[in-house]
Structure 1
Amino acid sequence: MQGYNVLMIYSKDMDRLLMCKRLKNPYKGLSNLVGGKIESGETGIEAAYRELFEETNISRENVTLYHLMDFKYYMQHCYVEVYVGKLKCNVAISGDENELYWSDLNQDFFDMTLFAGEGNIGHMIEQVKMSKSIFLTD
């Protein structure tokens, strides 16, 4: 079963979420969270920090990631680990895998014509809202 991660990175003020515009399938042209594959021999958290740096240039010094939830897809033989973090300071983001941008939070993240993941992004954001005081304190 192949493992993947999805990274929910919030701005320092928790008013924006780091997103990318997908340049290739699946979900080409849709907005998505950054993330990637968990390599063999790698822990989930190690893969999360590695993918975050590779795709955005955000290092582990800039953010603390918390394991929020997992999705397991038996028919597709894969699972997705979801991590969330708030930037400790303003960071210049850069990456060439997908077009990166900061989204305000006044979006319908359940809209599958705009966002990847069959509504999962909206679900994950609601989970963060329910518990952000626990793991996103300064």
Structure 2
Amino acid sequence: MTDDRLYPTRPILAASVAVIRDGRILLAARGKPPGEGLYSLPGGMVEAGETLAEAALRELHEEVGVEAEVMGLLTPVEFIERDGRGHIKHHVVIAPHAARWVSGEPQTGPEAKDIRWITERDIADLPMTAGLGGILEQAFTIARGDTRP
């Protein structure tokens, strides 16, 4: 399999997960570009043969060592970045999920420099990846038990 994440010939499909535990959501500071140091949801590329939810849960376990149960799909986010010449450097379509924490205490590693369980009040103070605020709003709505879209 070729890795065409940088200057891709087509959009890349990824999945992420907003893990909910006691009204808080798990965020990790990215350990690699793009967005290194920014807070985001654990996630990564979908592998051939995986469902979006399977990919999100696999990436969650690989990145931070947590197990969760998917509750539903949230609104997809697109990340498109162009270089100085206008060429597409990154184009990733991310399918975020809301999930209920099952087990494991999150651990930092190469892909997660820092980990935080955040409340809605914490959002304003964190440097985050583009589009994450709207995803977190959806996930916090689910965390409150309000399942209306």
Q: 1:121 aligns with which of 115, 119, 132?
A: 132
Q: Which residue of 1 aligns with 2:20?
A: 10
Q: Which amino acid aligns with 1:86?
A: R
Contact 2:13–2:46 under 8 Å retained in 1? yes
Contact 1:54–1:95 under 8 Å retained in 2? no
Q: Which amino acid aligns with 1:6?
A: S
Q: Which amino acid aligns with 1:102?
A: W
Q: Which residue of 2 aligns with 1:67?
A: 73
TM-score by length of 2: 0.69
Q: Does 1:83 align with 2:84?
A: no
Structure 1 residue runs of 4 or more that deviate by more than 4 Å after TM superposition? 72-77, 129-132
Compute the RMSD of aligned alpha carbons: 2.6
Q: 2:46 aligns with which of 20, 34, 38?
A: 38
Q: 1:94 aligns with which of 87, 103, 107?
A: 107
Structure number with bigger Rg: 2
Report the number of matched residues: 126
Structure 1 stretch displaced more, 35-44 or 121-130 = 121-130
Gaps of 5+ in 1: none
Alignment partners' CA distance in 2, 1:72 and 1:28: 17
Q: Give the match's secondary structure for 2:105.
A: coil
18 and 39 in structure 1: CA distance in 2 versus 1, 3 angstrom threshold = same
Alignment partners' CA distance in 1, 2:79 and 2:27: 23
93 and 128 in structure 1: CA distance in 2 versus 1, 3 angstrom threshold = closer
TM-score by length of 1: 0.74
Identity of aligned residues (%): 25
Alignment partners' CA distance in 2, 1:73 and 1:95: 24
Q: Which residue of 1 aligns with 2:30?
A: 22
Gaps of 5+ in 2: 1-10, 81-87
